[in-house]
Amino acid sequence: MSRDQLPERFEIDLQITPDDIDQLGHVNNVVYLRWVQDAAIAHWSATAPGVDQASLRWVVLRHEIDYKRPAFLGDEITARTWVGSATRHAFERHTELLRKSDGRMLARARTVWCPIDAETGKTTDVSAEVRSLFSVSE
């Protein structure tokens, strides 16, 4: 895949609060998972057409997270996310959590999301148009 075919990366800045710190003095692993979800929601909200935001909801089928380094109170964090493969029934989302001061990778995640119909709660299709907004593969 050439550089111009790579899915667009979406970034948000994240804040660490005292409640995010665990007994070991660093950000708890569960918070990293919340950040992965926050980045996905922000990307969807910023990119998807309003009609799709109103009619689709997402549930997680799988999370994989590799924790690389701890984050501490006072660190500034950037979440970078993008969609890899996207089919009618599943979006493979990648997320990197980076410390802004040195650009070091704190964690890397791969999450598989399934679209559901907002009214029925049942699995539904994602149109080719929406898939093309997020991913280069169909």
Query: Over the stretch 22-42, which tens digit does the pLDDT of each residue have?
Result: 999 999 999 999 999 999 999
Report pLDDT for 138: 43
pTM of the entire structure?
A: 0.90
pLDDT at residue 114 above 90? Answer: yes
Name the more confident of 84 and 135.
84
Residue 5 — pLDDT band, cuts 50, 70, 90? low
Residue 88 — pLDDT band, cuts 50, 70, 90? confident
Compute CA distances 77 → 25, 36, 94, whole Å: 17, 12, 16
**What residue spans define the domains of the chain?**
3-134
CATH 3.10.129.10 fits 3-134, yes or no: yes
pLDDT at residue 3 above 60? Answer: no
Q: Which helix (H) or strand (E) holds 113?
A: strand 105-117
| CA-closest candidate to residue 78, choices 98, 92, 51 | 98
Report pLDDT for 137: 57
